Chains A and B, each alone.
Chain A
Amino acid sequence: MMDVNEIRRQFPVLDQQVYGKPLVYLDNAATTQKPLCVIERERDYYLHENCNIHRGVHYLSQMATEAYENARRTVARFVNAKEAHEIVFTRGTTESLNLLATSLGRLLASGMSLRGAELSGATWQSTRRPKVLVTAMEHHSNLVPWQQMVQLYGGELLVAPMDDNGVLDLQAYENLLKQSPQIVAMAHVSNTLATINPVKEMIRLAHQYGAITVVDGAQSMAHLSIDVQDLDCDFFVFSGHKMYAPMGIGGLYGKTAWLEKMPPYQFGGEMVETVSFEKTTFNKLPFKFEAGTPNVGAALGLETAIKFIESFDRKAVAEHEEALVAATIAGLSKIEGMRFIGQAPERSGLVSFIIDGIHPYDLGTIIDKMGVAVRTGHHCAEPVMTRFGIPGTVRASFAVYNTLEEVDILVHAVNKAANMLR
């Protein structure tokens, strides 16, 4: 058994009142709170270790460099990457995806085929017109960079549809693969619908049709075990702040062969090997993709956050979060006019809903006054809202420190707000 009260003691921010009510923090899909160990790790870095890395000959710089590279190794181990250099530190999911869209776009435009010949054994096809396949449930961050990239090069964006429960239509997905997209980008877990996509199968199919695959792991890293080798994805991206780590750090996993081929995303210090006014050669992996001074302190915080996650029996945590989701659904479904958005059988730590005749924004406003923090709106997935014909949803999302009592408070608050608003 997990001792949630003990865990909560590691999150001082949870222990406060808002509007005179105990804070019930259920906006973990937006960002999780940070445990003391993570806060202290970052603080310690600035107290004792702060230094710019990869450049100084002096003691502190060497120590900081080593700590930073250790953090990289920890991330690599956590997602089971083959090599540490397959992990590129970024600001988070959004930056990772912009890096990929920009760099892969340039690679394509250079006439270099992306169709996954070497890696998946499919036929080599040369084309300068990018085609990217995404799913209908993407966060704007895994949609807009691809959309803008294909528009820049006169290509095409394909969208795999889902059903009314928020389950991807795998048959339609496979049919779209027959149109030969070079890149397939997919959410591992939907941030609005909670759907866990069958990414392993989707990746297998994509490779079969010669496409390379990008998995948006923003919502899966904190909740599921990630094994990039088992998934066989070409790229996997994530944000630290959604997994108990500080803001401003995240990452990109990429298979070595692709990272080697890809041109740099940003240029400047750190990512170069030799520079003259005529010509620059670029540093080796992963530094080629890490221009400028990185967020070292946050990277160390991320490493600590990973160790924090690993300190639990992950199966027990998953069961705990499932129990919270189940109790939320059971409690809310008694409310008249309740409609759950996203009812996939395979789901992860959040519940999205609306109530007939009540604007999500009104509901969120009232329950906020009762101390309950949820997210309302389109959750950066406007096409999903359009698909379901709604202005937005109310989303309660969970983390390891949430309790069944908090679910009760949520249900009670929603009930009361609904009565006021009707």
Chain B
Amino acid sequence: MTIKEIQDSIVEDFSMFDDWMDRYAMLIEMGKECPIIDEQYRNDQYLINGCQSRVWLHAELRDGKVYFTADSDAVITKGIINLLIKVFSGQTPEDILSADLSFLDEIGLKEHLSPTRSNGLVSMVKQMMLYAEAFKSIS
């Protein structure tokens, strides 16, 4: 699926609920399904700054596509990073870099996160873009 198709399906999933509790329940489920970072990368070097809870993110390039793994000590945070992973993992660096991020506004995630969490979200996206940028230059 393309990034756009995945984004659309996430927006659809979120719009099924009108209660934010249910959306959080969905994020929590996503958190539990997050592709977990290999233990060797679960260290400060892979820590993302700007989150109240800790988030580690790793990426590798296989056959021209970027694959992300992550972890967090808070499950909602893990749900948020997994949501981003669902969108960006398995895509080419070019597609990631040119992705439209407006789906985050469409699902209303940003405004329903506390400011610290929403800063965290921005940091996560930024870090993913940095990975894509780095892979683009070597591939």
Interface residues of A (CB under 8 A from B): 19, 358-359, 361-362, 365-366, 368-370, 377, 391, 420-421
Interface centre among B20, B25, B75, B114 (most CB of A within 10 A): B75
Assess whether B114 is in contact with A420, with CB atoms less than 8 Å apart.
no
Assess whether B24 is in contact with A359, with CB atoms less than 8 Å apart.
no
Kindly list 11 other residue pairs between chains A and B, CB separation below 8 angstroms, not including A358-B75, A421-B28: A359-B53, A359-B73, A359-B74, A361-B74, A362-B53, A362-B75, A362-B76, A362-B77, A365-B24, A369-B21, A391-B73
Task: Fill in one digit per residue for B87-116: 1 if any A CB lies within 8 Å of its CB, else 0.
Answer: 000000000000000000000000000100
Interface centre among A358, A361, A377, A421 (most CB of B within 10 A): A361
Is B117 an interface residue, CB under 8 A from the partner? yes
| CB-based A-B contact count at 8 angstroms | 39
Is B9 an interface residue, CB under 8 A from the partner? no
Assess whether B20 is in contact with A359, with CB atoms less than 8 Å apart.
no
Given A361-B52, A391-B53, A421-B28, also A369-B76 (CB < 8 A) = no
Interface centre among A362, A366, A377, A420 (most CB of B within 10 A): A362
Q: Per DSSP, are chain A's interface residues mostly helix, strand or loop, or mixed? A: helix
In angstroms, Cα B24 to Cα A362, docked, is: 10
Given A365-B114, A365-B117, A377-B52, also A359-B21 (CB < 8 A) = no
What are 25 inter-chain pairs, A to B, with CB distance below 8 A?
A358-B75, A359-B53, A359-B74, A361-B52, A361-B53, A362-B28, A362-B53, A362-B74, A362-B76, A362-B77, A365-B24, A365-B76, A365-B117, A366-B21, A366-B24, A366-B76, A368-B114, A369-B21, A370-B21, A391-B54, A391-B73, A420-B24, A420-B25, A421-B28, A421-B75
How distant is A85 from chain B, measured CB to nearest CB, in Å? 42
In angstroms, Cα B25 to Cα A366, docked, is: 9
The count of residues in chain B whose C-beta lies closer than 8 Å to any C-beta of chain A is 15
Find chain B residues with CB under 8 A from A362 CB. 28, 53, 74-77
Find chain A residues with CB under 8 A from B54 CB. 391
In angstroms, Cα B119 to Cα A161, docked, is: 36
- Residue on A with the closest CB to B114? A365
- Residue on A with the closest CB to B53? A361
Interface residues of B in 39-69 (CB under 8 A from A): 52-54
Find chain B residues with CB under 8 A from A365 CB. 24, 76, 114, 117
Find chain B residues with CB under 8 A from A359 CB. 53, 73-75, 77
In angstroms, Cα B52 to Cα A420, docked, is: 20
How distant is A96 from chain B, measured CB to nearest CB, in Å? 28
Find chain B residues with CB under 8 A from A421 CB. 28, 75
- Residue on B with the closest CB to A416? B21
How distant is A129 from chain B, measured CB to nearest CB, in Å? 35
How distant is B120 from chain A, measured CB to nearest CB, in Å? 10
Assess whether B20 is in contact with A369, with CB atoms less than 8 Å apart.
yes
Residue in B28, B53, B77, B117 whose beta carbon sits within 8 Å of that of A420 in the complex: B28
Closest 6 CB pairs of A and B: A359-B74, A361-B74, A362-B76, A362-B74, A361-B53, A369-B20
Find chain A residues with CB under 8 A from B21 CB. 366, 369-370
Assess whether A19 is in contact with B117, with CB atoms less than 8 Å apart.
no
Find chain B residues with CB under 8 A from A361 CB. 52-53, 74, 76-77
